[in-house]
Chain A
Amino acid sequence: MIGAWLAEISGSSLSTICRSFAGDRFFKAAAVCVTTLLLGLFVAVPIWAILREGLILPDGSWGLGNFVDYFRDPRFVTITSRSLLLAFSATVITIVLAFGYAYALIRTLIPLKSLWRFCALLPIFAPSLVQALGIQFLLGRNGLISNLLGIRIDIYGFWGILLSDMLYAFPHAVLIIITALSVADGRLYEAGRMLGASEFRLFWTVTLPASRYGIMSAAFVVFTIVITDFGNAMVIGGDYSVLATEIYNQVSGQANFRLGAVIGIVLLVPAGLAMLVERQVARRNAAILSERSSPLTLRKHPLRDACAFTYVIVISTIILSVAGIVVVASFVKLWPYNISFTLDHYVTDVQNGYAPLWTSLGMAAITALLGTVLVTLNAYIIEKVSHPYTRVLYFFSVLPAAVPGMVLGLGYILAFNDPSNPVYLLYGTVWFLAINTIFHYHAQAFLIATTNIKQISRTFDEASAMLGATFFRTMTRIALPLLLPSLLSIGLFLFMRAMVTLSAVIFLVSPRNSVAAVSVLLLDDSGKASQAAAFSVVIMAVVLIVAGGFNLAVGVLYARRQERILS
């Protein structure tokens, strides 16, 4: 009966209709299966492998014995408390500095804002360890400042890691706080002023409360970045071992996978907690925006603007000088004694020369293309197929945010370095590195995609369905064209991360397929700091050029589409 009804109602043949009706369900089911398979294989399985490795005792039984042993060893207790101390200190200082910077950019009338914004973002374009490299050139044994002042600063250890991690985490914090400060409701400020509130009181009663979720969110992100960062601690930590470097030492140095996994789980706890809280906080942050808010118009305030201007100049100078010194050092003969110009350091004598750079480029291209498709499909399916099960998929989609790169990398070894596993066929290839990178950064890319999908009004789906469109047609003809600008920005995000990533892939590279950031680490490790600098400069140049070109393209596209979508 329904068949006859269907045939009549659409005026075409019965079989076509039944097929497309079934096709709709089939497509959704197939998409959910693919998403399940990928998230299961590349997120759940590696994490499970780490947990299993950490929970299996030397005698083969299961238990927490490994952790008891771990915390009985004073050396590991020291390492754990160091990591926590570093993360806490860096978080507090970075958030204060980043809030000031973001405030200056958003809430004051200083000139050249886009330049200052670019300066703040600069550390994102390089592997994390470039910060440590720069600080070495400035404050290290043969550092510029140490030499000029004729003093010996002991930068290797806590202070070096703290400084370089702060620099590395700074742009992330600034970006989040800028977003929080941008959504000001002008009406509240007008109301406050009409009631006679001073600017100082407005700051404490309106600005800070409105941005508190943004600040908290930024704090948890910085905490996670610092506690999981590997590159800086490796370069400038010296003997000061932290959790992330200790995993590497245990696994790479002593092939002690079990202890590596135990440390990994210890690292997973604070990182996971921080990300969990961050997700909760970020959700609340999104709810603050109401449609009726009116934009805030800034007023001239010479003293405030002068202070803000001085502040951004000071901070930008520090960021630029750390990055700049790496560039300068890469072009001089012997830093800082012989500063005559040379290109010698660009002839890398590490194994394979520049091959890892090309590998990185290829890997980043795959990551960007494949990753954008995968992440967008995941996000679309999870958002549009409303079923309790898709909540499970959502959890595994954002789970990688809580998993430090070192832990994920180790999980990939434990899970896939096994000829009986089908994925082993990919092991050691560029594709394997790309897949690892996609899922390492899956959560962030997924959240960008989800946010953008949510912004497309649900009535477009309904309008499309009412006109007779299948789920697939609505997705390809309506949703994806509208999402195009956001697809490009996800692609760019994944590309940039893939070009500079170190922590997860360091366990997975092979002599044949290594990546650029690993070369920098190896060069620095073998005492060739200037060559490490040169290699870093090449990476930064590639990332900046690609990002610049990309941004230009997205900008053009977005400007054209924005008015269509928002009108």
Chain B
Amino acid sequence: MDITLNNVTKRFGSTVAVDAVDLEIPPSSLVCFLGPSGCGKTTLLRLVAGLENADGGTMSFRGRSLAGIPERMRNFGMVFQSYSLFPNLTVEENVAYGLKCHRWGDSDIASRVAELLSLVGVADQRGKYPHMLSGGQQQRVALARALAPRPHVLLLDEPLSALDAKVRRTLRSEIRKLQQELGITTIMVTHDQEEALTMADHVVVMNEGRIIQQGPPAQIYDRPLTPFVAGFVGSMNFLTAVETGEGRFRFAGHELVVDRSCVMAPLKGNAIIAIRPEDVQIARPGAETAHQSGSNTLEASVEWIEFLGGKCLLTLAPSSSQPLTINAEVPARTVHDLKLSVGSSISLSLPPDAFNVYPA
């Protein structure tokens, strides 16, 4: 393991920012810390960087303890949210800065700087000052600066959040490609679940200073361990239900059949049933959906239609004993074909294997 955290804790006054975190980061992988603001992900990154001192626990890098090693001795490269390029130095001087700190020779510095600048695609900007560059270019320079001294680990603190959507998308794939080419162990902090899912080998979802779930992106998305992860990563319908038998639930006057593999934790009667809007299927009233027959089919009326471009988000109100709504995300084409409008009646079905069931 490149980085191993054991029971790491950090407090600020009475708030516990990082609460007894255990984590292992394999070599050459890209790990994302994902969570809402204030969940402790940035603090955890800063602990790894050495910018904060842990109040408890141990951290090690390739088997050696990081205790007492100041940040500047770790040779971990870091890219900050606000780029933090030194405004009094040119692009070249910024990239050369870390090399000078590590006492590289002048000719080595020159060739390394040129190499890095062309690697991130800003070679033509070398003589400029940071303020003369666009946000995307600044972030590329920041990346080159962090990578120049051949760091053991690359730390990215919300590197894309200050950029506009288009630049963000390009840089996202560029950073990922670069990381894979160099094979550098990388930790990235983000609050953007899409960013985490597209870039990471391994996603670490955090809340209130703790790791809630970690695993490959697809696993996080398909099998969230808790309602928190389910709600934070992607969007989710939550239904309150009561277990009536093996794989059978009653919710708002309807029977639901659920595959056994969907139950995430032992239940004690009450349950929360989660299903993603894109898994909800719709059809003409009375007709059967493409999916299957009979079970889990509800009659509903369309309460609201939100047009999202290629897709539409429908707010559906099933006929039930209590007021509730279910969101369904369907291709815009389907809405058109079914001639749906607010008030239309439809039939919706919930595939038994698309659920995640949690104890309430």
Contact = CB atoms under 8 A, between A and B. Distances in A.
A419 interface: no
Given A10-B75, A12-B102, A564-B87, 6 more contacts: A6-B69, A12-B103, A17-B73, A464-B86, A467-B98, A481-B88
A115 interface: no
Contact of A463 (B75, B80, B88): B80
Contacts of A468: 72-73, 75, 98, 101-102, 149
Given A6-B73, A17-B73, A467-B72, A567 B97 contact: no
B101 A9 contact: no
Contacts of A16: 103
Given A9-B74, A17-B73, A462-B51, A467 B84 contact: no
A469 B72 contact: yes
B272 interface: no
Highest count of chain A CB atoms <10 Å: which of B77, B84, B146: B84
A110 B17 CA distance: 53
A460 B69 CA distance: 20
A566 B131 CA distance: 8
A195 interface: no
B131 A564 contact: yes
A39 to B, nearest CB: 28
Contacts of A460: 84, 86
Contacts of B73: 6, 9-10, 17, 21, 468
A5 B71 contact: no
Interface string A531-567: 0000000000000000000000000000001011111
A377 to B, nearest CB: 19
B69 A2 contact: yes
Given A460-B86, A564-B129, A21 B75 contact: no
Interface string B49-84: 101000000000000110011111111111010101
The 8 closest A-B pairs by CB, nearest first: A567-B131, A467-B98, A468-B101, A459-B84, A463-B84, A481-B88, A466-B78, A564-B87
Given A466-B71, A467-B72, A473 B131 contact: no
A465 B71 contact: yes
Interface of A: 1-2, 5-6, 9-12, 16-17, 21, 24, 457, 459-460, 462-470, 473, 477-478, 481-482, 561, 563-567
Contacts of A561: 87-88
B311 interface: no
B145 interface: yes
B351 interface: no
Nearest to A6: B73
Given A21-B73, A457-B84, A565-B87, A9 B152 contact: yes
Highest count of chain B CB atoms <10 Å: which of A12, A459, A482: A459
B224 to A, nearest CB: 33
B130 interface: yes
A2 B73 CA distance: 11
Interface string B301-337: 0000000000000000000000000000000000000
Contacts of A5: 64, 69
B358 to A, nearest CB: 39
The binding surface of chain A is classed by DSSP as helix
A567 B101 CA distance: 26
23 contacts: A9-B74, A10-B75, A10-B102, A12-B102, A21-B70, A459-B82, A459-B84, A462-B71, A462-B80, A463-B80, A465-B51, A465-B70, A466-B77, A466-B78, A467-B101, A468-B98, A468-B102, A469-B72, A469-B98, A469-B101, A482-B87, A565-B87, A565-B131
Contacts of B131: 563-567
A458 to B, nearest CB: 9
Nearest to B87: A564
Given A459-B80, A465-B72, A466-B49, A478 B103 contact: no
The binding surface of chain B is classed by DSSP as mixed
A190 B306 CA distance: 34
A457 B83 CA distance: 11
Contacts of A462: 51, 71, 78, 80, 84
B334 to A, nearest CB: 42
Contact of A564 (B65, B82, B88): B88
Contact of A466 (B68, B69, B76): B76
B155 to A, nearest CB: 8
Contacts of A481: 88
Highest count of chain B CB atoms <10 Å: which of A11, A16, A462, A463: A463
Nearest to B157: A459
B149 A467 contact: yes
A504 B68 CA distance: 49
A318 to B, nearest CB: 44
Contacts of A1: 64-65
Contacts of A466: 49, 51, 71-72, 76-78, 146, 155
Highest count of chain A CB atoms <10 Å: which of B72, B74, B77: B72
A459 B75 CA distance: 17
B44 to A, nearest CB: 16
Highest count of chain B CB atoms <10 Å: which of A5, A459, A467, A477: A467
B152 A473 contact: no
Nearest to B145: A467
Contacts of A10: 73, 75, 102
Contacts of B80: 459, 462-463
B330 to A, nearest CB: 39
Contacts of A473: 101
Nearest to A470: B72
Nearest to A13: B103
A423 B70 CA distance: 40
A464 B89 CA distance: 12
Contact of A478 (B76, B86, B152): B86
Nearest to A458: B84
A459 B74 CA distance: 17
Nearest to B86: A478
Nearest to A469: B101
Contacts of A467: 72, 77, 97-98, 101, 145-146, 149
A463 B78 contact: yes
Nearest to A481: B88
Contacts of B87: 482, 561, 564-565, 567
A564 B149 contact: no
B81 to A, nearest CB: 8
A540 to B, nearest CB: 36
Contacts of A11: 102
Highest count of chain A CB atoms <10 Å: which of B101, B130, B131: B101
Contacts of B152: 9
A198 B286 CA distance: 64
Interface in B105-130: 129-130
A230 to B, nearest CB: 43
A470 B101 CA distance: 8
A12 B100 CA distance: 13
Given A9-B74, A563-B131, A457 B98 contact: no
Highest count of chain B CB atoms <10 Å: which of A10, A466, A561, A563: A466
Nearest to B70: A21
A457 to B, nearest CB: 7
A469 B69 CA distance: 14
A463 B64 CA distance: 24
B104 to A, nearest CB: 9
A477 B129 CA distance: 15
Contacts of A24: 70
Highest count of chain A CB atoms <10 Å: which of B64, B85, B86: B86
A563 B85 CA distance: 14
Contacts of B70: 21, 24, 465
A460 B85 CA distance: 7
Contact of A9 (B65, B75, B85, B97): B75
Nearest to A473: B101
Contacts of B64: 1, 5
